[in-house]
């Protein structure tokens, strides 16, 4: 077993399973995707640290537990079409690609989008479709989605994303509430939405028409 593979296995056991991630499909995907490929070379020695890491453009690759918690809350079974808002490095998209049939991932930063596209291609991830644009508006042409994952903090559930969530679908989004960020899951039941709070979190702000205005 390579050094990275050993560290990845330790991450799954010590950072994820030991802290409440129980979905074996999620644990398997987290154990299969090489996180070191998605961080800058100078930070690869920290690829499996229990923390977020900078990837450029004032963006980060999320802490492994956060990625796993989002994926677990989406409750994917393998046949879903998933919308991801905030591609970043492409790491979460690669994990989602092992859990769903198709991933539509939207990134607003052209440089990050190009880098993520190169990494996903190098790793032969074929079921992620990366788009450049305002992720807070989703993708009406490909909607509805069975699951939506948002990797940036919003002032409230983005209306366009709520509209594009299919019946029975789940939307996981960090929300800024009373000055504190909380990772929240919304579950659609016809016209009714139920809500559950997962954990405190810290994300960059969601910039766009359905989020915050650009500074």
Give catalytic residue positions. Answer: 62
User: Cα(160)–Cα(177) distance, rounded to whole angstroms?
Assistant: 20
Tokens of 74: 């989406």
The length of the chain is 215
Residue reference for tokens 């995707």: 33
Q: Rounded to 5 degrees, what are φ and ψ at 143?
A: -70, 160
Residue reference for tokens 């994926």: 71
User: Cα(193)–Cα(13) distance, rounded to whole angstroms?
Assistant: 33
User: Cα(78)–Cα(99) distance, rounded to whole angstroms?
Assistant: 5
| CB neighbour class for 25 (10 Å; exposed up to 12, middle 13-18, buried from 19) | middle
Tokens of 211: 């989020």
The candidate with the shortest Cα–Cα distance to 100, out of 137, 148, 37, is 148
The candidate with the shortest Cα–Cα distance to 147, out of 128, 126, 127, 164, is 164
């Amino acid at each position: 077993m390579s050094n990275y593979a050993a560290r990845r296995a330790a991450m799954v056991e010590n950072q994820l399973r030991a802290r409440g991630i129980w979905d074996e499909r999620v644990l398997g995907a987290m154990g299969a995707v090489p996180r070191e490929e998605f961080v800058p070379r100078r930070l690869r020695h920290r690829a499996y640290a229990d923390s977020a890491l900078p990837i450029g453009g004032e963006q980060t690759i999320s802490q492994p537990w956060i990625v796993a918690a989002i994926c677990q809350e989406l409750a994917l079974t393998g046949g879903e079409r998933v919308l991801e808002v905030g591609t970043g490095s492409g790491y979460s998209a690669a994990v989602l690609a092992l859990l769903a049939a198709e991933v539509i991932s939207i990134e607003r930063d052209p440089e990050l989008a190009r880098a993520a596209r190169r990494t996903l291609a190098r790793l032969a991830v074929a079921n992620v479709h990366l788009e450049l644009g305002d992720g807070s508006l989703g993708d009406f042409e490909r909607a509805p989605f069975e699951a939506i994952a948002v990797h940036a903090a919003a002032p409230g559930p983005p209306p366009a994303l709520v509209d594009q969530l299919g019946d029975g679908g789940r939307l996981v989004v960090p929300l800024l509430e009373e000055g504190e960020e909380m990772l929240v899951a919304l579950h659609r039941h016809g016209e009714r939405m139920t809500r559950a709070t997962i954990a405190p979190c810290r994300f960059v702000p969601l910039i766009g028409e359905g989020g915050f205005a650009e500074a």
